[in-house]
């Protein structure tokens, strides 16, 4: 029989947890509920105690991904549900994710619609991530960065060592499941406006979102990123050579540099591919 563990990473989300935890307990009275307190300075611990919920506290903030890893290690259920502690996710949707999971999937993700995105900028970024991940994996990816998901515990723990301590654990786990040929499904959800202030800062986290794009490629198949880049350098070298040969009748250093870059980028891709294969070896 499956046992359910619900894991909520939280940092100063006391008002949201006060409303969310009783609803979770009502919806899933037999589930193990774990709040991972990521260095909160509010009443998170006392609210968990009053709600009869286990709280794993950290003396300082280590990041959303670190909280997910701590919760996954502590959970005793063979089915894990991850959801944000800020009140965005609807407890009633957990049943829909579990129903889909029982159809033979290893991970089911709650896919947000456009109206559930936190602003136009985040919506456009997530659309780009979804498109790129779909092209990389060859499978439809409806919401790469959603933090609301149900997974089989044994499969998820295979990739704990790959998960970052920051906010991009959904991207990493999704691409890891695809890379290992574990079936992933999506269930449409509507996410509410979060209670309280977001911990994401656009300027500070802009580079992080850019790095996610490269992580999508390197977690699945680095050659799919490096081969096109190598081809671009090779093509630019050929174009430059054709131009200089027609006008000056000679080969320039720029063409040679472009061709050299093409070879180097391709070789880096080969090495990255081998490293990626080692990362997924059990």
Cα–Cα distance between 270 and 19 in angstroms, integer?
A: 51
Two tokens, residue 126:
């997530």
What was the pLDDT predicted at 101? 95
Residues contacting 80, CB < 8 A, separation 6+: 5, 7, 72, 150, 151, 152, 153, 156
What number of CA atoms fall less than 13 Å from residue 236's CA on the CB side?
A: 16
Instruction: Kindly state the tokens that stand for 88.
Output: 């965005």
- What's the whole-number mean pLDDT along residues 7-34? 92
As given in the structure block, the two tokens for residue 179 are: 């890379």
Q: Return d(Cα 175, Cα 192) in angstroms, integer.
A: 26
Residue 43 burial (CB count, 10 A): 15
Instruction: Please give the Cα distance from 156 to 81 (Å, whole number).
Output: 11
- Residues 258 and 243: their CA atoms lie apart, in Å, by 14
Q: What is the pTM (predicted TM-score) of this model?
A: 0.78
Tens of pLDDT, residues 254-275: 999 999 999 999 999 888 888 8
Quick check: helix, strand or coil at residue 177? helix
- pLDDT per residue as tens digits for the range 174-190: 988 988 889 999 999 98
Q: What pLDDT digit, counting tens, does each position of 193-229 carry?
A: 655 555 555 555 556 666 776 777 777 778 888 899 9
Written as six digits, the tokens of 52 are 């009869």
With tokens 């699945």, the residue in question is: 220
């Amino acid at each position: 029989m499956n046992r359910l563990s619900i894991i909520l990473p939280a940092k100063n989300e006391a008002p949201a947890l006060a409303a969310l935890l009783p609803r979770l307990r009502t919806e899933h009275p037999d589930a193990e509920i774990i709040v991972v307190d990521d260095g909160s300075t509010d009443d998170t611990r006392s609210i968990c105690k009053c709600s009869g919920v286990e709280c794993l506290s950290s003396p300082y903030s280590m990041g959303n991904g670190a909280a997910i890893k701590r919760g996954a290690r502590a959970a005793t259920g063979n089915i894990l549900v991850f959801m944000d502690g800020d009140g965005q996710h609807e407890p009633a949707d957990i049943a829909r994710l579990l129903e889909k999971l029982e159809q033979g999937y290893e991970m089911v993700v709650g896919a947000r619609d456009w109206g559930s995105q936190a602003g136009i900028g985040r919506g456009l970024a997530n659309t780009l991530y979804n498109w790129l991940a779909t092209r990389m994996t060859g499978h439809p990816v409806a919401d790469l960065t959603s933090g609301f998901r149900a997974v089989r515990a044994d499969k998820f723990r295979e990739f704990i060592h790959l998960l970052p301590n920051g906010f991009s654990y959904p991207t990493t786990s999704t691409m890891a499941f695809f890379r290992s040929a574990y079936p992933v499904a999506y269930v449409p959800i509507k996410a509410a406006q979060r209670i309280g202030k977001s911990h994401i800062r656009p300027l500070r986290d802009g580079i992080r979102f850019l790095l996610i794009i490269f992580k999508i490629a390197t977690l699945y198949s680095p050659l799919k990123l490096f081969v096109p880049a190598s081809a671009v350098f090779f093509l630019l070298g050929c174009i430059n050579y054709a131009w200089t040969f027609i006008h000056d009748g000679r080969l320039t250093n720029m063409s040679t540099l472009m061709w050299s870059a093409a070879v180097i980028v391709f070789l880096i891709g080969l090495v990255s591919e081998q490293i990626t294969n080692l990362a997924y070896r059990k």
